[in-house]
Amino acid sequence: MKNIAERNDENIVMKNILTRTSDRLFDTTREVSKNQIEQLLHAAMAAPSGVNRQPWHFYVVTDKTLLAQLADSLPYCKMAKDAAAAIVSCGDSKKFLEGVDDTLWVQDLSAASENILLAANSLGLGSVWTALYPHFDRMEKVKQLLKIDDTFVPFNVIPVGYVLTPHKPLDKWNPANITYLE
């Protein structure tokens, strides 16, 4: 029986979603172009956001020393040292909503981050989401390393590059996680 990605082969959007993987082994000999990075960021900024506040700011790290420092400083970001780039997604606190909606920025940054991952896959690049928020110690390390203003809340680091060893995407389909109310 064909897996769901194979069954959706004719639909390029579904195929892209279902073939996205979390890549941690990057080819250190291949660079990612500025144009490719900008395509990833365009995709990020196409994400929905609460009241269209667009509470995001992105730091793009291509400096090999900084990539190595991110890898050394963060427990789940070791692959950054071999990545061609890393995108650090941050919440812009000046654009956060107030009251009961004060944490909607987390959802907004999640949507933007997923768009980066999907866009990377569509461009033939690998990427992986490494969490910062809500781990205060990780957030502070990144703020110090990249000299990030207190206005911005580091949310995640997404290393990006060409994959060294491609792997098969996981089929995470599980009907037990669904309740139909008909």
Domain positions in the chain are: 23-164
Q: Is the distance from CB of 54 to CB of 108 less than 8 angstroms?
A: yes
51-85: per-residue pLDDT in tens? 999 999 999 999 999 999 999 999 999 999 999 99
Q: Write down the CATH superfamily of domain 23-164.
A: NADH Oxidase (3.40.109.10)
How confident is residue 10, by pLDDT bands cut at 50, 70 and 90?
confident
Query: What mean pLDDT is reported for the chain?
Result: 95
Q: Cα–Cα distance between 126 and 158 in angstroms, integer?
A: 10
Q: Is the pTM of this model over 0.75?
A: yes
Q: Is the distance from CB of 11 to CB of 144 less than 8 angstroms?
A: no
Other CB atoms within a 10 A radius of the CB of residue 171 amount to: 11
Helical H segments across the chain, by residue range: 4-7, 12-19, 34-45, 64-73, 104-122, 136-146
